[in-house]
């Protein structure tokens, strides 16, 4: 099968490309804009063709989709804090980019899998026994999550109105190698390497449902292979932890006192808790996560950042100075 992966040079997109090359015979082409959050290095040595281009550019997208059998659409601006500073790239890439993909797959009758986030469902209270399911109403909080919610709605509308053959997945927080140092886990690991105290927003009781990026990739491939057209599948690995627990674990694994972090200005509109009920994906498609030991996964991730300093170092100072300007 000829597969087009948009955003395939980003953190989760490149992980998926590795997964596909390892586990299938598919021929993979990547469309990526190579923004600040992407890297060619993440694809080094793989037999894939990288096309550098903008997913919101309809003619580029049309030409690529015309010669593919399926599209997996990862390309997105993904960082909430950036969307609060300037929403415009989020509107362009996440909404207009998805629109361009949808028009092309509609025209060429190509199968689409759209990769999205659990943030489209808003947040849960800390003491709420419920988790997100495929039936939870959409209630996004940030410009980022609103743009992803909009993109999901576009996909659903193109399925219903035009008969586009598409599936959607909404996943929880990913961790693992190649994640940009603006994100919570890599930021704190690289802070500790640099002798800077980790920074936790607000009271640190916000809960995220962590999943290893490899498990996200295996779920997306499973949905691409066997998911029912028009369906949404939630992806999660029962990894709920609050930010204080995660930062203390990072500090302990890096031989620092567990309380050697600072609490800083909270994120505006900061979602309290995400939690995924992934029973539909497990029961219907027989998927299960492999990385069930978060502590081991985190230890491996720390080791990866220790041994890949040449990759993240060029981004670190600018990321920290942008956070410092906001008191974060
Ligand atoms: O839930 C899926 C989402 O997970 C994805 O859709 C997003 O693209 C991805 O960025 C992530 O969103 P979050 O906003 O949850 O991730 P982030 O790494 O920015 O923050 C995780 C938690 O840690 C959140 O509660 C904010 C907090 N945080 C973050 C940073 C960068 C801190 O306390 N300190 C920090 O320095």
Q: Among 101, 14, 13, 10, which residue's Cα sits nearest to residue 55? A: 101
Helix, coil or strand: residue 246: helix
Structure tokens of 272? 């309290």
pLDDT at 11: 98
Q: Is 184 in the pocket of ligand 1 (CB under 6 A)?
A: yes
Contacts of 78 (CB under 8 A, 6+ apart): 10, 37, 117, 144
Q: Find the 83 Cα to ligand 1 centroid distance in Å.
A: 12
Helix axes 309-325 and 184-193, enclosed angle (nearest 10): 100
pLDDT at 238: 97
pLDDT band, residue 118 (cuts 50/70/90): very high
Q: What is the mean pLDDT of residues 50-71?
A: 98
pLDDT band, residue 138 (cuts 50/70/90): very high
Structure tokens of 257? 């006192």
Q: What is the mean pLDDT of residues 214-238?
A: 98
Domain 2-174+210-235: which topology? Rossmann fold (3.40.50)
The Cα 182–Cα 317 span in angstroms is: 11
pLDDT band, residue 13 (cuts 50/70/90): very high
pLDDT band, residue 137 (cuts 50/70/90): very high
The Cα 191–Cα 160 span in angstroms is: 47
The Cα 233–Cα 227 span in angstroms is: 8
pLDDT at 129: 96
Find how far residue 234's CA is from the centre of its chain: 13
pLDDT at 206: 98
pLDDT at 291: 95
The Cα 263–Cα 191 span in angstroms is: 14
Q: Which residue has the tokens 């390892």?
A: 22
Q: What is the mean pLDDT of residues 226-242?
A: 98
Q: What is the mean pLDDT of residues 80-109?
A: 98
Kindly report the number of other CB atoms within 10 A of residue 45's CB atom. 8
Whether 298 contacts 249, CB under 8 Å:
yes
Task: Say whether 134 is catalytic.
Answer: no
pLDDT at 24: 98
Q: Is 201 in the pocket of ligand 1 (CB under 6 A)?
A: yes
pLDDT at 42: 97
Pocket test for ligand 1, best of 208, 267, 298, 328 (most atoms within 8 A of CB): 208
pLDDT at 86: 98
Q: Is 187 in the pocket of ligand 1 (CB under 6 A)?
A: yes
pTM of the model: 0.98
- Domain limits, the chain: 2-174+210-235, 176-208+240-320
pLDDT at 87: 98
The Cα 196–Cα 297 span in angstroms is: 23
Task: Say whether 69 is catalytic.
Answer: no
**CATH architecture of structural domain 176-208+240-320:** Alpha-Beta Complex (3.90)
Task: Say whether 118 is catalytic.
Answer: yes
Task: Note the helical H segments in 33-142.
Answer: 58-66, 80-85, 88-90, 97-108
| Ligand 1 atom with minimal separation from the 246 CA | 23
Helix axes 143-162 and 97-108, enclosed angle (nearest 10): 20
Dump the DSSP string for 276-308. B--HHHHHHH----S---HHHHHHHHHHHHHH-
Q: What is the mean pLDDT of residues 279-292?
A: 97
């Amino acid at each position: 099968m000829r597969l087009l992966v948009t955003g395939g040079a980003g953190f989760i997109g490149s992980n998926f490309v590795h997964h596909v090359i390892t586990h299938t015979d598919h021929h993979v082409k990547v469309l990526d804009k190579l923004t600040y959050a992407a890297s060619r290095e993440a694809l080094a040595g793989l037999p894939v063709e990288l096309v550098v281009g903008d997913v919101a550019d309809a003619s580029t997208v049309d030409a690529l989709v015309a010669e593919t059998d399926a599209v997996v659409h990862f390309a997105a601006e993904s960082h909430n804090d950036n969307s609060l500073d300037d929403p415009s790239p989020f509107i362009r890439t996440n909404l207009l980019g998805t629109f361009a993909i949808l028009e092309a797959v509609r025209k060429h009758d190509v199968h689409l899998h759209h990769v999205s986030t659990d943030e489209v469902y808003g947040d849960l209270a800390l003491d709420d026994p419920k988790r997100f399911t495929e039936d939870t109403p959409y209630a996004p909080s940030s410009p980022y999550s609103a743009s992803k919610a909009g993109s999901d709605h576009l996909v659903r509308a193109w399925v219903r109105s035009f008969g586009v053959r598409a599936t959607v997945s909404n996943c929880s927080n990913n961790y693992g190698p190649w994640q940009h140092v603006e994100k919570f886990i890599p930021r704190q690991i690289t802070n500790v390497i640099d002798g800077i105290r980790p920074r936790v927003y607000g009271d640190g009781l916000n809960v995220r449902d962590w999943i290893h990026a490899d498990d996200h990739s295996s779920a997306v491939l499973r949905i691409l292979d066997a998911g029912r057209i028009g369906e949404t599948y939630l992806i999660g690995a029962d990894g709920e932890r609050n930010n204080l627990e995660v930062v203390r674990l990072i500090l302990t694994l890096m031989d620092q006192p567990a309380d050697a972090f600072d609490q800083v200005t909270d994120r505006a509109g900061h979602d309290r808790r995400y939690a995924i009920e992934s029973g539909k994906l497990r029961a219907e498609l027989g998927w299960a996560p492999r990385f069930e030991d978060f502590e081991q996964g985190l230890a491996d991730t720390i080791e990866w950042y220790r041994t890949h300093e040449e990759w993240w170092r060029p981004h670190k100072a600018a990321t920290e100075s942008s956070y410092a300007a906001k008191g974060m």
